Amino acid sequence: MKHLFASSLLLSLCLASCQEKAKEEVTETKEPETSKVIVHEEYTGTEPTKPEETEFYEPKVPVVGPATSGKIPNDAIVLFDGSSLDAWVHSRDSTSAKWHLNGDGSMTVADKTGNIQTKQNFGDVQLHIEWRSPAEVQRDGQNRGNSGVFLNGLYEVQVLDNNDNDTYVNGQVGSIYKQRAPLAMASVPTGEWNSYDIIYHAPEFNEDGGKIKSGTMTVIHNGVLIHDHIEIKGTTPYIGWPKNPPHGKGPLLLQDHGDNSRVSYRNIWVREL
């Protein structure tokens, strides 16, 4: 009997110890709170609520400052401010970018030097970029002031001097090239500065490389919404249909269209989302 009592006591102590250990393990494996966004639970009861019950003070929203009048949010990564091309390399051989650095805070495509891209790779971003077609008009259609802003190095938002210059609508200024015409044409006169503000979410792929979620793009051209959270079908080639190679983060790429288009860029910054 004494022996049975001792065994039971030992078993109870062991169980208690195991339970404590299990609790510790649960505590240890608890997911860290990494999300910046807190979604407050909605009230689903029928009782009337007081105003203060639906007012939340935490967590505080980060103060980043405005992105107007040439200002840049303090959490933005500056990719080009006119001082150097240090953040950029040529896409074909990763050598230093050889586009022209101008004295007015801009850079211009150097004839046939090739595309340039950021050294840093990005996934989801908010991108601000300004561009200008050369004031001296040359050629027509796709050969007039053609360049492009490629998100993830793969998905082109078309840059083109479309003023009095018709072309296919899914290749006009602001189009997702050969994939989606813009909702509106909002260019300033040729030779003046345009802005694009782009919100890009990258596509997602499974382990086998299959796309499980399309990327999306929202584009504002000179303050006008021209793409409203559209689904990206895939890459934006000149010839052929969109393809969906699996990828992770990638560079932001600016196009040298190869025909002396001489498009200029300035004030380029991104916020990682």
Binding site for Mg ion (CB under 5 A): 146, 148, 255
Q: Which is nearer to Mg ion, 172 or 255 (CB)?
A: 255
Closer Cβ to Mg ion, 133 or 255, answer by number: 255
Whichever of 76 and 88 has its CB closer to Mg ion, that residue is 88
- Report how far Cα 243 is from the mean position of its chain's Cα atoms: 19
* Nearest distance from C-beta of residue 147 to Mg ion, angstroms: 6
CB-based closest residue to Mg ion: 148
Burial string for 202-214 (b: 16+ CB within 10 Å, else e) reads bbebeeeeeeeeb
E strand segments, 45-187: 77-80, 88-90, 100-101, 106-108, 116-118, 125-132, 147-151, 155-159
Report d(CA 251, CA 183) in Å as an integer: 26
The nearest distance, CB 236 to Mg ion, in angstroms, is 9
Question: Given the structure tokens 């200024």, which residue do they identify?
Answer: 173
Nearer to Mg ion (CB atom), residue 76 or residue 142:
142
Strand, helix or coil for residue 63: coil
Least distance in angstroms from the C-beta of 77 to Mg ion: 24
Task: State the minimum distance, in angstroms, from the CB of residue 96 to Mg ion.
Answer: 23
